[in-house]
Amino acid sequence: MEKKNIIKILLVSVVLIGLIYLIVVQFNKVGTTEGNIDYYEFSAKIEMEIDSLSTGWINSSNNDFRTILSDIDIAKGMNGISEDDAIDLTKRTNDVFKVSADSYFKRISWTDKELGEIKCIALYLHNNGLVSIVDGYYSAKSVIASSRTCASTSAVDNCIDRAASFNKAPWTNCAELKEGLAQVRTNAMESYINRSLAPICDRLINYKANYTYFDDFDNDFQKLKSGKVYLDQKSYSNPTFDSRYNSIQYNNAANDLDPRF
């Protein structure tokens, strides 16, 4: 009885193996005949999708481009399109995407959400130019913010130089950036004056309360004088600071304060 059961199992296994073989053979036949039809259908469908893309950035642009790129990946994974055609379709998508993104960068208002969407697709497409524009937007905002915290001449110069690198299109198309970059020089100079020069100036004006020795007074005065020379070289003037600087009584301090021996 057991021997009969074993024979039945073997027969069933042979039949199953035969069925599987027939299925595989039939599948291969479909891949070499009907598969060619599927190839052209996939390619034509994706080409139509690309042709329907908007060259001006709209609210649905992100989803439209994502859908097409996903379709290309799926079709390639199913061997519905060749590797060369996948590359060509991706390139065509990238060309339209660049035009669409450029239309966005001509707007006067940019948002984090849309910039994030553009960068995400640009990274996938290896479009470094578009990635640089998005990254530049945030770098420019960082320069604008740091210009309000300058405490040295080197910090001022760095902010001004960095701002100049972004003070051009497409970044200046964004009204927020254009206005902020235009204020970088003034913000940086004023921050340097208020954070570094003004406190020294206040101490020097009230020298009797702040110094015992003239040497200490003179050290601070030389620092302040160097700062004033820097402002003059940069043709920058703050009337309030200039007035207080000119009110410092250097000779009186030399007479009233003791020298350090």
- Helix, strand, coil shares of the chain, percent, nearest 5, are 80, 0, 20
Q: Give per-residue pLDDT as tens, 89-113.
A: 999 999 999 999 999 999 999 999 9
Q: Is 120 exposed, middle or buried (0-12, 13-18, 19+ CB in 10 A)?
A: middle
- Give how far Cα 14 sits from Cα of 4, 7, 11, 103, Å: 15, 11, 5, 65
Binned at pLDDT 50, 70 and 90, residue 2 comes out as low
Binned at pLDDT 50, 70 and 90, residue 79 comes out as confident
**For the whole model, what pTM was predicted?**
0.80
Q: Give per-residue pLDDT as tens, 241-252.
A: 999 999 999 999
Q: Which residue do the tokens 């007074």 mark? A: 217
